[in-house]
Amino acid sequence: MNSSPRAGWLALPYGLWLLAAFAAPLGAVALLSVQESSEMFAPLSLVPSGAQYAELLGDSFYVRVFLNTIWLGLGVAAASTFLAYPLALWLTRLPPRWKPIGFAVVLVPLLTNVVVRSLGIILLLAPRGIVSGIGQAFGLPPSNLLFGWFAVGLSLTQVFLPYMVLALYDVLDGQDKRLEEAAAGLGAGPAMRFLRVILPLSLPGLRAGLTVTFLMASTAYVSATLVGGRKVWVSGMVVLKEGVEILNYPLAAALAMMMLGASVAVTILIGRVIGMLTPWVTGRAPRFRLSVPPGIRRPLVMVAEAVAPFVSRFLLALAIGVLIFPLLLVAVASVNDSPQATVAQFVGFTWKWYGMVLQNERYLADAWVSVQLALACVAISLAIALPASFALVRAGFKGREVLGAALMLPLALPGIAVGLGMLRLLQWFTALPPFMGVLAVHVVLVAPFMLALLRASVAGLDRTLEEAASGLGAPPTRVFRKVILPQLGPGIAVACVIGFLLSFGEVTVTAFLTTARLQTLPVRIYAESTFSLENTVNAISTIFILMTVAMLVLVNRFMPLDRVWKR
């Protein structure tokens, strides 16, 4: 397993899977978007037409939804930035023994199903929820913060804040602590140290966090549907409605392609802006300098240093509260003797909702489908990601980094486009079972995460042990079984657990592909939450949370949680 150009062929299975389950659906969406007719049974035309785009741009509703979605994505990215910095800095400064717990605060919400987290926001903001109850305690009238842009923005911020935190943690933890100490030695207070040292050096991580957060927030629709109550419309909701309910695939495909174009444009814009703010990375001279007159600068610095400790503590508490408190509300509501899932007022203690879940054959059948799907997804993802990780680490050929970026591409493009394209492919090729179509897409979504984890594990292998075994006459297969696999064991176990949780809880793309005979448990919860909010939803959501916590405890036995994501 030494470096060799031939090792690059190990990435071939991964590449072929992406071609079949990622590139093909995207190609189908691109082809559908340039059809002239919106009729479901109209023959495909290879002559491109802009009729669908003209219809979208000529309708004020579609234009308004598209622009509002872009602004929502930017707003969520901005809010996540303000909340993520104090939380990421807090993680870097935790003692080693407490870091796994700190990371659990971030990873438990990240790996918990998005429907569960949205239900927590509903309990928080509902007319009889926590916020309304606190207001009434102070003599304010009952408030209903649901079904508006604030509720949707808060829900999406809670869902995607962990990605920003982890992106910032990577660069903040790697900063030379002596720079901050030197600034402190020169008299700079906490605020100035952050603005003049920490913030500029963390901008590359901020670029990654902004990009990921915007891409995911601008294409999300599950939280917007549940928390917005169909009074708030985003592009993902329109794509789902046009493609799945109305069966207007060309129009849905055109809107998905417009979102793809917007994602690429905003990603480039973020890169350009961060590039202008970090000229030292490329060795260029700064294009502009912010100069403040000394008479104004001194009072500003004094005010900043005075309020910085309070602001940072408040934002840290707010970030942790946004991540954890909604999950706790769901757990408490699951044992509340109230038939409505959105009632935060505690009526009485009961286990009956759990009993109803365990007696519901539909829940059990859907849970079994989800388990089968997640296990198959993990097995296939491991089979293609492990060889690909060796190709990226040990193959000695030019363009290796380009290949690595290409294999991670599914994380950077809207999942709704992949879901819509796979839905249409399954309708064209009816011989392919629906389960295989869902499985193919799940592998596309999960394999990049497993590849990133396994790539770090392969890079950390001790080559001297392999060379010693080869020198003693062991064939390559025996070296792999006896030397390499034992070293990779913890990394493989961690990647499989993370992959299982991601696949088991996936909703965004799966909702396009499920049928009456093939339903996953998260999609079942999402569907029921949109028209019925019985408290069994909170019970099964709490089971999701406990499963996530148990899985992370298992991961921590193999590898501390703070080391997992740094990989």
- Taking each helix axis from N to C end, the angle separating 521-531 and 361-394, rounded to the nearest 10 degrees, works out to 130
| Distance of alpha carbon 31 from alpha carbon 353, whole angstroms | 47
> Do 169 and 277 have their domain in common?
yes
Residues contacting 219, CB < 8 A, separation 6+: 235, 236, 259, 263, 414, 415, 416, 508
CA geometry: angle at 67 spanning 62 and 73, to 5°?
125
Q: Please answer whether residues 316 and 86 qualify as being in contact, where contact means their C-beta atoms are separated by less than 8 angstroms.
A: yes
Pick from 167, 182, 176: which is nearest to 274 by CA? 167
- State the virtual CA torsion across 281, 283, 287, 291 in degrees, nearest 10: 80
Say if 338 falls within a structural domain.
no
Query: Does residue 484 form part of some domain?
Result: yes
- The identity of residue 448, as a single letter, is P
Secondary structure class of 444 (helix, strand, coil): helix
Look up the pTM and report it.
Answer: 0.83
As a whole number of angstroms, the distance between CA 206 and CA 275 comes to: 11
Are 378 and 494 contained in the same domain? yes
Gyration radius of the chain's alpha carbons:
25
Which of 279, 300, 333 is the last residue before a domain boundary?
A: 333
- Residue where a domain terminates, one of 275, 298, 333: 333
User: Are residues 393 and 288 part of one domain?
Assistant: no
Distance CA 87, CA 328 (A): 19
Whether 341 is covered by a domain: the verdict is no
Residue 165 in domain: yes
**How many CB atoms sit inside 10 A of residue 296's CB?**
9
Cα–Cα separations (whole angstroms), residue 93 to 83, 174, 317, 349? 16, 12, 16, 40
Clarify whether residues 329 and 358 are in a common domain. no
User: Do 99 and 184 belong together in one domain?
Assistant: yes
Distance (Å) of CA 226 to CA 79, 115, 152: 20, 8, 9
368 and 320, same domain (yes or no): no
Spatial distance between the Cα atoms of 508 and 114, rounded to a whole number of angstroms? 9
Q: Counting every residue, how long is the chain? A: 567
Q: Are residues 412 and 465 in the same domain?
A: yes
pLDDT at 4: 58
pLDDT score of 294: 67
Q: What is the C-alpha to C-alpha distance for residues 509 and 422, in angstroms, rounded to an integer?
A: 9
Annotate 88-99 with DSSP letters as a single string.
HHHHHTS-GGGH
| Whether residues 371 and 326 fall in one domain | no
* Distance (Å, whole) CA 491 – CA 185: 41
Going by C-alpha positions, the residue among 373, 79, 76 that lies closest to residue 219 is 76
Answer yes or no: is 343 within a domain: no
Enter the tokens of residue 303.
């005010």
* In a domain? residue 358: yes
- 187, 200 in Cβ contact below 8 A? no
Q: Report the C-alpha gap between 237 and 72 in whole angstroms.
A: 14
Q: 74 with 27, same domain? A: no
DSSP 195: I
DSSP assignment of 236-301 equals HHHHHIIIIIS--HHHHHHHHHHHHHHHHHHHHHHHHHHHHH-GGGTTPPPS------HHHHHHHH
Q: How many domains is the chain partitioned into structurally?
A: 2
Other CB atoms within a 10 A radius of the CB of residue 432 amount to: 14
Domain end: 333, 360, 395, which one?
Answer: 333
Same-domain check for residues 388 and 294: no
Q: Which residues contact 203 (CB under 8 A, 6 or more apart)?
A: 274, 277, 278
The domain that contains 135 carries what CATH number? 1.10.3720.10
Residue 491 lies in a domain: yes
pLDDT at 79: 94
How do the residues of the chain divide into helix, strand and coil, expressed in percent and rounded to 5? 75, 0, 25
pLDDT of residue 121: 87
Host domain of residue 24 = 1-33+350-567
Residue with tokens 């290949």: 403
The reply to whether 134 and 232 lie within a common domain is yes
pLDDT tens for residues 457-504? 787 777 787 778 777 777 777 877 777 778 777 778 888 888 888 898
What are the structure tokens assigned to 351, written together?
A: 């286990």
Residue ranges, the chain, pLDDT below 50: 1
Q: Is residue 38 part of a domain?
A: no
Do 534 and 464 share a structural domain? yes
Query: Strands, DSSP E only, in 18-117?
Result: none
> What pLDDT score was predicted for residue 281?
55
The answer to whether residues 11 and 387 touch, using CB atoms and an 8 Å cutoff, is yes
Up-side HSE of residue 210: CA atoms within 13 Å toward CB?
A: 21
DSSP summary character for residue 410: G
User: At residue 198, what is the residue type?
Assistant: I
